[in-house]
Chains A and B, each alone.
Chain A
Amino acid sequence: MEFGWPKEHVDYRRRVREAINELLPPDWEETYVRESYASDLQIDFSREFCAALAERGLLTPHWPAEYGGSESEDWQHFILGEEMKAAGEPRGPQYMNVNWIGPALMKYGNDEQREQHLRGIASGKVIWCQGFSEPGAGTDLAALRTKAVRAGDKYIINGSKIWTSYARKADWCFLLARTGEGRKEISVFLLPMNTPGISVSSYPGLPKYGHLNEVYFTDVETPVSGLLGEEGAGWDIVIHALSYERVGVPRYHTGLHALDMAVAALKKEGRFDDPIIRSRAGMIAAQFEGAKLMTYSVVDQRVKKLPPNTDANLSRVAALEAVNELMNFIVEFLPDCLAGGHLLLDDYYRVNVPAGVTGGANEVQLDLVAQRGLGLPRMS
């Protein structure tokens, strides 16, 4: 056990930061804050940014060499994700491409699909969206009702998806649809978003405009060649794909940054001498530091290829609790931040409004740790 960063990781982090500093426009923060990272403007910018990252070998470094990667270890991949998140995720939706859509295609795709998609993803110019959640199937994903019916050499898809970030600008959808009556008789389709019968509508919400979209599929026809893997293998594909994401978003990284911003704002107002405020800020910093080490322990397990356990779920619980404390701190001591007083803290708050439900509700994380981690009995 030891907690130091080896030189190659320090150097790698520096290299990523330098790339970000060089590639982001001078008005990046202002643009990002004003438009949100799910805005059309940011999605378009991601094509330019990710292409430049690809040229520097920083878009898919963890991929196998045969697909254009350099097979870098998980620590480097994680450092890359931390730095991108801290910079406001200028990769936009493409973090999904490189983190799990590409790897899923490598494992389950046929030669034709790999040839068609992987080069595009590695170029940094293709946008995908994730067609998973539905109005009645969010955390309980297997309850989805969007249906794909085989008709000769094609499938006909009907249904709808919700919370589909980036759908308005996406080129492709990684779509989950039901192909049988059994709960997990689900398949994955690689569907061009310009296919006739697909329509997208956006609606406002507590997170900024652009995050919340609904996608409708009305008699959408897709060839059998659009099926990823075998028919009915979708559940296994999704479980495998999301295992790449199991460490989750490095919320402690953005959280500590936001806490620093909140303290700077309080200092500016001459209020950070108040020992109650100072104490609360110190406690939140400690909570984020705890969440950070728990997350790093999961990365370490992954690097060592240890059998999966519930530590990743537990680290998400820890990070979420710290995020909630910080959101409360912002509103209690800097209430005007959510009323035009501080755009970056307003953005932090609004991005984290759904933090307890994105990627599976926090209560499900708690269930998983209780039953699989602590071995507590399931409710009968």
Chain B
Amino acid sequence: MDFQLNDDQSALVSAMRAILLDHQDIPQSQKLDYCYFHSALQDVLQESGFLNAAREVDPLAAALLVAEAAKIPPVVEVGASALIAPALMPDEVPEGPIAYVDGARLDKPHRNLAVAKTAFVNLGEDVAVVSIDEGDVERVETIYAYPFGKFVRKPDLTRSVIASAGATATQWARVALAAEFAGAAQAAIDFTVDYVKQRTVFGRPVGSFQAVQHRLVQCSRLAKGAYYLAMKAAWSKAPEDAMVAACYVQSEVQKLMYDLHQFNGAMGVTTEHLLHFWTYRLRALQSETGGAHGAALDIADSRWGAAGDNGRREC
């Protein structure tokens, strides 16, 4: 067991950070928006091969990159391309950006669908791979910090189907969302820590109040736990670890949302502040793949046997 990045992992993360550093700013004209999708950065990541890390190195390398990409205010689609696609299509690279779509809620808005070229529609048992052409999808206005979109007409779910891949898609969607959560949560906490060190109230920094300090530490605990759980799930490739990672992060979103916005005060509810670019990513991730409740039920099934299985499995 080794919790430090090895030389190759460090080099990969450093290279990713260098690229992100060059693309972390949001154009003045879009600074007040709820979301800024950085299409130029998306192209750079795609062309430079970073999104193929799972194929060329391993899923852990890809998860490290997903977490890094989630730390900057602009958003790019990394999770589905870098983690879900290689698991579903190991010998083929589908055109990105990719949206992960819940087949049971096909008519509802989905994260990244507004910019996607491909959608993985999880039908439960199978996964449909849908190519998205202009006019297939319309953008949906939302407070979430991702480009949400919905299908204008029902896509053809029969042309390209990966049989029996539903569970695999769910597993890697969970790993991806947990890694994305870990990066965005850490960035939101770092941003808030900087803010409460500088902002003074009643003649002292907000961050000197014990009520603020203790809760920020608890936020920090959430982000650190999320990071290790996400990386372990990517490393082990075990569905159980993916359930645990998703459950852990999704069950804690509300606490982070409340505390981080609370400590940024009134500034935190304006779009002049950067906070929402991270926190409303966390909100968007909260309900995916069944949310915390769905992941927790899957953990219960996995660890203690399915419902109705009373007493048939040793604990």
Contact = CB atoms under 8 A, between A and B. Distances in A.
A302 to B, nearest CB: 11
A373 B196 CA distance: 15
A318 interface: yes
B224 A375 contact: no
Of A261, A289, A294, the most chain B CB neighbours within 10 A belong to A289
A272 B304 contact: yes
A2 B208 contact: no
A1 interface: yes
Contact of A301 (B3, B213, B299, B315): B3
Contacts of B245: 286
B1 A268 contact: no
Given A285-B244, A366-B213, A314 B220 contact: yes
B198 to A, nearest CB: 10
Interface stretch (B29-37, B107-115, B153-161, B290-298): B290-298
B224 A314 contact: yes
Interface stretch (A187-195, A196-204, A276-284, A351-359): A276-284
B269 to A, nearest CB: 23
A283 B296 contact: yes
Interface string A1-42: 111111000000000000000000000000000000000000
A115 B313 CA distance: 53
A300 B232 CA distance: 15
A375 B3 CA distance: 23
How big is the A interface, by class?
A: 35 or more
B225 A282 contact: no
A1 B3 contact: yes
A68 interface: no
A265 to B, nearest CB: 9
Interface in A335-380: 363, 366-367, 369-371, 373-380
A294 B310 contact: no
A166 B107 CA distance: 66
Interface residues of B, number: 56
Interface stretch (B4-12, B18-26, B49-57, B73-81): B4-12
A373 B224 CA distance: 13
Contacts of B5: 1
A1 B298 contact: no
A267 interface: yes
A304 B214 CA distance: 29
Given A283-B296, A366-B214, 5 more contacts: A2-B60, A260-B304, A283-B299, A378-B208, A379-B209
Interface of B: 1-6, 9, 60, 64, 193, 196-197, 204-205, 207-210, 212-214, 216-218, 220-221, 224-226, 228-229, 231-232, 235-236, 243-245, 247-248, 251, 292-293, 295-300, 303-304, 307-308, 310-311, 315
Interface of A: 1-6, 75, 260-261, 263-264, 267-268, 270, 272-273, 275, 278-283, 285-287, 289-291, 293-294, 296-297, 300-301, 304, 311, 314, 317-318, 321, 363, 366-367, 369-371, 373-380
25 contacts: A1-B6, A2-B1, A3-B231, A263-B304, A263-B315, A268-B311, A278-B304, A279-B300, A282-B243, A282-B295, A282-B300, A286-B296, A291-B225, A293-B232, A297-B3, A300-B1, A300-B4, A304-B4, A318-B221, A370-B217, A375-B193, A375-B197, A376-B205, A379-B210, A380-B208
